[in-house]
Amino acid sequence: MTAQVIDGKAVARQVREDVAKGVEQLVAGGGTAPGLATVLIGDDPASEVYVRNKRRSCVAAGMQDLHRHLPGDVGQAEAAALIDELAADPAVSGILLQLPTPAHLDSESLLARIPAEKDVDGLTTANAGLLAQGRSGLRPCTPSGVMALLDQYDVPLQGVEAVVVGRSVLVGKPMAQLLLERHATVTICHSRTRDLAEVCRRADVLVVAAGIPGLVGPDAVKPGATVIDVGIHRGEEGLHGDVDTAAVAEVAGLVTPVPGGVGPMTIAMLLANTLIAAKAQQGRSD
């Protein structure tokens, strides 16, 4: 069997077009275009690339790019003051603190200053708590991107066995909660899981976010399963994920490629979150 390959680029494009339409409607209805404040501290080249992509996508969707850059040696108090300023600014719908911040800064206490309603990365304790309690709030972008892919490809979730590999705050934990919200039977695996392949083989939907190249091979996949690879690693032959995709595609029913699977969805969901945040702040939630 050869699996169908999920086209994350196409789904992400659709989400971005929908967001752009939503922005147009908001403005046409007398609202203000959403503003995204990306905050970059220091000059890490990878972070610069990520932030540049986010800013471009934000402008392409008709939003205001309210980017701020602080030098790498900025003090904690000054960084905190910038977050507070953005928190108080009505033009700022969403605040994205690009991680990792330089080692001398306490990024958790900076994140904690972002008001939940402007936390478009869905990373604050408040939003994590809302998700854990099944209440509405801004959801982390990568796991909500995975949900959008599953929905776009009509993958059934109710009652199915879903296995999430990885328990990070950014991906694994919220991923499991989003799947649970949709009535999947969810198992979370991690580095101490006794027999990873055996647990993964139960999965109708397998989401892998462990940050270990090639961790999941065909022996860990149930025939016909949906396999979503959240990992991104830069190797000699370009980008690859946590899943041995070529071999797994012989067993699975549906797989994400790397690149071009989950990756493009993350920025698309960031834009979607920024629009949701702006509408809520302007009293236009639908």
Among 32, 168, 185, 282, binds ligand ADP (CB under 6 A): 168
Site residues (CB under 6 A) for ligand ADP, limited to 218-237: 230
Distances (CA, A) of 262 to 6, 21, 118: 9, 23, 23
**Binding to ligand ADP by residue 147, rule CB under 6 A?**
no
Among 207, 210, 244, which residue's Cα sits nearest to residue 229?
207
Per-residue three-class SS string for 109-137: HHHCCCCHHHCCCCCCHHHHHHHHCCCCC
13 labeled binding residue:
no
What are the residue ranges of helices labelled H in 36-124?
Answer: 45-60, 76-88, 107-111
Total residues in contact with ligand ADP, by rule CB under 6 A: 17
* Site membership for ligand ADP, residue 172 (CB under 6 A): yes
**How would you classify the pairing of strands 68-70 and 64-65?**
unpaired
* Best CA proximity match to 258, nearest among 224, 222, 213: 213
By C-beta, is 178 or 230 nearer to ligand ADP? 230
Q: Please say if 21 is a catalytic residue.
A: no
Q: Is 167 in the site for ligand ADP (CB under 6 A)?
A: yes
Q: 47 labelled as ligand-binding?
A: no
Residue 85 to residue 283: CA distance in whole angstroms: 22
Known catalytic residue: 9? no
Rounded CA-CA distance 43/221 in Å is 41
**Annotated binding-site residue? 107:** no
7 as an active site residue: the answer is no
Q: Does 261 bind ligand ADP (CB under 6 A)?
A: no
Give the Cα separation of 256 and 40 in Å (integer).
Answer: 30
Of 121, 229, 242, 244, catalytic = 121
Piece of 27-35, 55-63, 92-100, 187-195 that binds ligand ADP (CB under 6 A): 187-195
Q: Which of 149, 170, 179, 271 binds ligand ADP (CB under 6 A)?
A: 170
Among 13, 52, 56, 190, binds ligand ADP (CB under 6 A): 190
- Binding residues (CB under 6 A) for ligand ADP: these are 165-168, 170-172, 189-191, 193, 196, 209-212, 230
